[in-house]
Amino acid sequence: MTRFALTVEFDGRPFMGWQRQDHGPSVQQAIEDAAHAVTGEDVIVHAAGRTDAGVHGLGMRAHCDIAKPITPFRLMEALNARMRPNPVAILACDEVSGDWHARFSCLSRHYEYRIVTRRAPLTWEKGLAWRLSGPLDAPAMQAAAAYLVGRHDFTTFRSAHCQADSPMRTLDRLDVAQEGERISVFASARSFLHHQVRSMVGCLSLVGQGKWAPEDVRDALAARDRTTLGLNAPPDGLFFLRAEYPSD
């Protein structure tokens, strides 16, 4: 049995999320079905993190165990061929030790949330960014983001359906970058709560629009109450960028 580490890119628009679902297609199912077609085995693919419906991946890490003798390159090529026309691609495939785990060995996860500020609707980027019709005050958003960095109880910013044992998380990075009409919010942590990134971005957008002051984000965090959340951003603009491991 060989364990393979995969780097996966996917467009989340056609999927119900990463995890296999009974009520619709998933990224996990697309890869597992392709792996079964290639190997004849019931392969389970484990990911660094789960993504919601409509969320995208540029460098999701995952692993699977396969008994059939096959090289990483041949496996990558075969999976990509079998997954067409699903918008999923294996960018890299490597043999790893049997104790390497895409989820539990992960030291840090990195996300980017993309916002486009313009009045015209999105065309080819529809579903790949969140369009807001007015300008945003990026420096004010950055000032608000600073209140969220560090170890906190993020109850306000977790989904009511979050299954994590604790709302405590350490946010290592939350930065706002602007280039013309485009704003990106970068978030890094060892792990995130369900909807945490989208909830943080939603509140930052209120600050950017002048509807909240930066201190309102601080107060929402301190409240530790989901009902004080200002806005949960849509999944469209959220991208899983990469995951980091000790071997990196």
By annotation, the residues acting in catalysis are 52
Query: What's the full length of the chain, in residues?
Result: 248
**End-to-end CA distance of the chain, in Å?**
24
* Angle ∠(94,96,101) on CA atoms, nearest 5: 110
